[in-house]
Amino acid sequence: MQTTNIFKGKKVLFFSPKFFGYGVEIAKKLEILGCDVDYFDEKPNNDFITKALVRVNKKILSRKIYDYYSLIFIDLDKDIYDIVFFLTPESISVKSLKYLKSTQPNAKFVLYMWDSLKNRQNVLDLLPFFDHKFSFDKQDCSQLANNFNFRPLFYLDIYKNVTYTKSTIDMFFVGTVHSDRLRLLKEIENECKKLAKSSFYFMFLQSKIIYYYRKLTDKHFRKSNIQDFAFKSLSQKELIEKLKVSNSVLDIQHPSQSGLTMRAIEMIGAKKKLITTNKDIANYDFYNSNNILIINRDKPKLSASFFECKYLDLKEHIYFKYSLEGWLKEIFLESLNETV
């Protein structure tokens, strides 16, 4: 693949949430491919309170956010960029983005959304400042006024290292317990027991405050124990080790999202079977009923035969398309109006 010609010598200013290390990995890959990258956290702070206030009412933090971006702009001084790349921004104000655009008149401003716009209302006012916009969500892309290009998510190179070993876990789940996930997890666990299949859940919550709030407000949390949840995320290394001994992985997308989760795409790279509530996955080019079981969100049912059949390899171009390099290549080709 002639990807280095696209990236070589390009100067990139990159803003991303520090979400499970994905931003760092994207910056590293851009540098490996030949870019000169300046990478910054999109938020002024990554603590629970800051994240919550940015989501609920970022005006409360307007001075803190303004000062944060002002210091970045001073630090950049007279640097000239080819691409200014934002990944799911929430913090930056219209005023700051407008100023940044005025200082980089020749740069392409690129946006990628890995969440649905309905979940990230803060982004709407920023859309006019981007030259190229991409989203993982087909529904957002179907709204012509948004002018989004559809591009699914990616998997990191580490998932290529999931070597096959004898499975000791029939179904593995790792993820944040948002929305109706706990209800579904309990119902699916019962399905596993009916089939005499084993399951392992790593249920993550951002803080104990959230756990106690959900225990008070969500009937499905009432009988739960705090020991059932983790408040520190699973490391990539630990995740890979669990995947190695798992037959399949369970994926439950947020009910307000139509796009495929990162977990669903990561299982392409890991060559692992997937159980998912996202019925739209049947419309993707990597879908194979042998590898992917779609379950009903309202009444999830598992199939014994799905656990027994082996994973079937996909075509090589599919693995590249959904890799981080393939994802970056598509975005940069479109944004720089270049061809290979």
Residue 330 has pLDDT above 80, yes or no: yes
Q: Please report the pLDDT score of residue 338 as a whole number.
A: 53
Residue written as token pair 């096959």: 164
CA distances from 51 to 42, 72, 73 (A): 11, 19, 22
Domains 4-152+324-336 and 157-320 share a fold: yes
> Tens digits of per-residue pLDDT, 136-165?
999 999 986 778 999 999 999 999 988 777
131 CB contacts (<8 Å, ≥6 apart)?
108, 109, 110, 335
What value does the mean pLDDT of the chain take? Answer: 92
DSSP states along 156-203: -GGGGG------SEEEEEEEE--TTHHHHHHHHHHHHHHTT--EEEEE
Residues 142 and 221: beta-carbon distance below 8 Å: no
Could you tell me the fold of the domain covering 4-152+324-336? Rossmann fold (3.40.50)
Q: Nearest 5°: phi and psi at 242?
A: -70, -40
Residue 234 has pLDDT above 70, yes or no: yes
Q: Which two tokens stand for residue 336?
A: 């720089």
How far is residue 175's CA from residue 205's CA, in Å, rounded to a whole number? 9
- CB-count burial class (<10 Å; 0-12, 13-18, 19+) for 200: middle
Which 3 state secondary structure label does DSSP give 87? strand
Give the global pTM. 0.91
What local confidence, expressed as pLDDT, does residue 57 receive?
67
Say which amino acid occupies 160. Answer: K
Note whether 154 and 270 are within 8 A (CB): no
What's the CA gap between 13 and 42, in Å, rounded? Answer: 11
Closest CA to 152 of 278, 3, 7, 1: 278
Q: Is the pLDDT of residue 44 over 50?
A: yes
User: What is the SS3 string spanning 265-279?
Assistant: HHHHHHCCEEEECCH
Classified as helix, coil or strand, 102 is: helix
User: Nearest 5 degrees, angle CA 242-CA 246-CA 182?
Assistant: 80
pLDDT, position 48: 73
CATH architecture of 157-320: 3-Layer(aba) Sandwich (3.40)
Q: Domain ranges in the chain?
A: 4-152+324-336, 157-320
The alpha carbon of residue 253 and the mean position of all alpha carbons in its chain are separated, in whole angstroms, by 11
